[in-house]
């Protein structure tokens, strides 16, 4: 069977986007044939096992138009005489007036390449993220006449201008998003609220099987046996890692702990320097980006997971961090903040512990409590795992999405039928 759905991605594959890879593999297993179009080439040195299981071909659009001028010009020449392309130019010019940036020009060029190179059997366009990938997909949809939909996540929702969110929501046939708080925000901007649907990513529990975690008696009192703390996330402002370091520096001298950080990110150098300045560098291991099997082993070897999410100065924030779901699936107690959709997963004092964001003192107090109370960690981990396995199994969400596509594709004409002559 030929691919029927073209999936537009900002970058592929990415270690930080296992939820996208999980979804793509699930759609393929449900019988959907996909073709992937990535706006950027991969930069990670390794990939997750799930990426190797995805059979869809990947085409890389020109990341910068000057890098592939012949390809861009060839696409424009092919499309220039089409009435739909000229109509798309008018829409794009209206967007350019609101966003007079090179980025806006690049999106039109990428959309032109996408529209010109789409195979004739493509019937639907689907964008992951409602910011730049959706801009490219919206323009390509206008050029080709193909319907499209999108999946909105976190940064794309909270840092995009409302005029562009509204334009994308109005143009797309439907939009799915992974948190109730994100869904409410988008529904307010949509032409019809029912076009925005809540669909938690969930977790592929086959890759995170139950772990018979031994009951811990470690209360951080023995310097030879420190409590093992873990944080998984890119070193960027919204993860609050600088706040975590400030909180760790506040812990009493008799509290023995070690911290592992897994993740890349542009702030790593500054964070290492901060740890040195705070006098805690010898207790921290910076392990860099790792693939999923290594991360799973880290969850199982740790005593407490910490992720002090915050809202960044530019409005960026997490939605529902997948690493919290992963950690809880392994009965690993979690400490996080009340930001965004984290409370949709963690009920404070029941399935984890939450504190206010950007509050090193509150975070330190919660760390002291959890480090010193292994029985509390055990109870929270067990309750958190039960919550994940009852409400955050990815199977149901992917099945719903696959059904959505099956309904959408029923009777939808192909690109060949929709493409204007010329």
Total-model pTM: 0.87
Which CATH code fits 227-391? 3.40.50.2000
At residue 419, the pLDDT reads 47
Domains 5-202+394-418 and 227-391 share a fold: yes
- Could you read off the pLDDT tens digit of each residue along the chain, which spans 422 residues? 456 999 999 999 998 888 999 999 999 999 999 999 999 999 888 888 899 999 999 999 999 999 999 999 999 999 999 999 999 999 999 999 999 999 999 999 999 999 999 999 999 999 999 999 999 999 999 999 999 999 999 999 999 999 999 999 999 999 999 999 999 999 999 999 999 999 998 899 999 999 999 989 999 999 999 999 999 999 999 999 999 999 999 999 999 999 999 999 999 999 999 999 999 999 999 999 999 999 999 999 999 999 999 999 999 999 999 999 999 999 999 999 999 999 999 999 999 999 999 999 999 999 999 999 999 999 999 999 999 999 999 998 899 999 999 988 986 655 544 444 44
* Phi, psi at 285, each rounded to 5°: -115, 125
Does the domain at 5-202+394-418 match CATH 3.20.20.70? Answer given as: no
Task: Give the whole-angstrom CA distance, residue 357 versus residue 72.
Answer: 45
- Helix/strand/coil for 340: coil
Q: How far is CA 264 from CA 43, 269, 290, 315, 408, in A?
A: 11, 10, 9, 21, 38
Task: Give the whole-angstrom CA distance, residue 173 versus residue 170.
Answer: 8
CB 321 within 8 A of CB 309: yes
Task: Give the whole-angstrom CA distance, residue 324 versus residue 78.
Answer: 47
Q: Where are the domains of the chain?
A: 5-202+394-418, 227-391
């Amino acid at each position: 069977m030929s691919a029927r759905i073209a999936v537009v991605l900002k970058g592929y594959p990415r270690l930080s986007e296992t939820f996208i890879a999980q979804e793509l593999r699930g759609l393929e297993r449900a019988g959907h044939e996909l073709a992937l179009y990535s706006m950027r080439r991969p930069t990670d040195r390794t990939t997750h096992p799930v990426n190797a299981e995805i059979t869809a071909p990947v085409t890389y659009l020109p990341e910068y138009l000057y890098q592939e001028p012949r390809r861009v010009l060839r696409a424009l020449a092919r499309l220039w005489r089409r009435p739909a392309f000229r109509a798309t130019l008018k829409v794009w010019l209206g967007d350019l007036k609101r966003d007079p940036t090179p980025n806006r020009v690049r999106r039109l060029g990428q959309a032109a390449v996408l529209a010109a190179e789409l195979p004739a059997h493509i019937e639907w366009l689907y964008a992951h993220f409602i910011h730049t990938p959706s801009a490219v997909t919206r323009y390509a949809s206008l050029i080709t006449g193909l319907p499209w939909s999108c999946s909105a996540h976190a940064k794309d929702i909270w840092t995009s201008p409302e005029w562009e969110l509204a334009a994308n929501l109005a143009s797309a046939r439907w939009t799915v998003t992974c948190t109730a708080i994100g869904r409410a925000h988008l529904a307010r901007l949509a032409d019809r609220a029912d076009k925005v649907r809540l669909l938690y990513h969930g977790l592929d529990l086959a890759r995170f099987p139950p772990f018979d975690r031994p009951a811990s008696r470690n209360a951080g009192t023995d310097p030879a046996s420190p409590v093992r703390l873990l944080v998984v996330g890119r070193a960027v402002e919204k993860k609050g890692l600088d706040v975590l370091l400030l909180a760790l520096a506040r812990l009493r001298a008799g509290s023995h702990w070690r911290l592992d950080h897994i993740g890349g990110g542009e702030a790593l150098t500054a964070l290492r320097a901060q740890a040195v300045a705070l006098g805690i560098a010898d207790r921290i291991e910076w392990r860099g980006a790792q693939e999923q099997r290594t991360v799973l082993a880290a969850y199982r070897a740790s005593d407490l997971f910490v992720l002090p999410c915050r809202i960044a100065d530019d409005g960026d924030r997490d939605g529902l961090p997948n690493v919290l779901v992963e950690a809880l699936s392994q009965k690993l107690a979690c400490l996080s903040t009340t930001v965004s959709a984290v409370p949709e997963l963690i009920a404070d004092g029941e399935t984890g512990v939450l504190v206010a964001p950007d509050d090193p003192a509150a975070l330190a107090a919660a760390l002291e409590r959890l480090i010193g109370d292994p029985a509390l960690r055990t109870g929270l981990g067990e309750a958190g795992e039960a919550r994940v396995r009852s409400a955050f199994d990815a199977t149901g969400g992917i099945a719903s999405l696959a059904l959505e596509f099956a309904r959408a594709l029923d009777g939808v004409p192909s690109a060949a039928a929709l493409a204007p002559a010329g």
